[in-house]
Amino acid sequence: MGFVQLFMCVATSFHGVAWPLITLIYPLYASVRAIESNSHAENKKWLTYWVLYGLIMVFEFTYAVLIEWLPLWPVIKLMVTCWLVVPSSDGAVHAYNHFVRPCFSVNTHAFGDWLKTQKDKFGVGKSNDFLLHVQLYVQENGFEALEKVIFSKVTRTLSRISLFFEGILLFSTGRQGT
């Protein structure tokens, strides 16, 4: 076994033990202490950590296919999270102020207006309207027409999902499509 393989084995094993301790157990304990102390500064610090932790998880979930190709990702993620957690570094506050805050504070009113238009556009929160539209469609076109529409959408979606996973399989095995 080469040095690099040994290092990766040790790093992966350490990551499996250290990750829950550093990212979940200690922050949960410190968050409870902050809540019990009624310290606004401590509450803000740990809330900031949890926001960043959530963003890291969303990033990792979104780019999982790409991240698995980075051999040192677990080590990098652990080091960044340690920096966020260590109280003396205030890493979470620093990362939030320099990376997250500028992205979210561009124009909150414009974002709120955009969100409202999207909500209205897609009818979020108007489930009764949706059911009313379905009933009207069934009355006008019959139940079989509704089944046909649903079946075509499901079939199209399943075929797209199948093609997507087939592409991932071909890419990960290094084979080209036939």
Please, are residues 138 and 146 in contact by the beta-carbon 8 Å criterion? yes
Q: Which two tokens stand for residue 14?
A: 């350490």
Residues 6+ positions from 27 with CB-CB distance below 8 Å: 46, 49, 50, 53, 85
The model carries a pTM of 0.55
Which residue did the predictor score with more confidence, 161 or 82?
82
Residue 8 confidence (pLDDT): 66
Banded pLDDT at 2 (limits 50, 70, 90):
confident
Q: What is the pLDDT of residues 97-118, one digit of tens each?
A: 998 888 776 666 776 777 777 7
Q: What is the pLDDT of residues 50-100, one digit of tens each?
A: 999 999 989 888 988 888 888 888 888 888 888 999 888 889 999 999 988
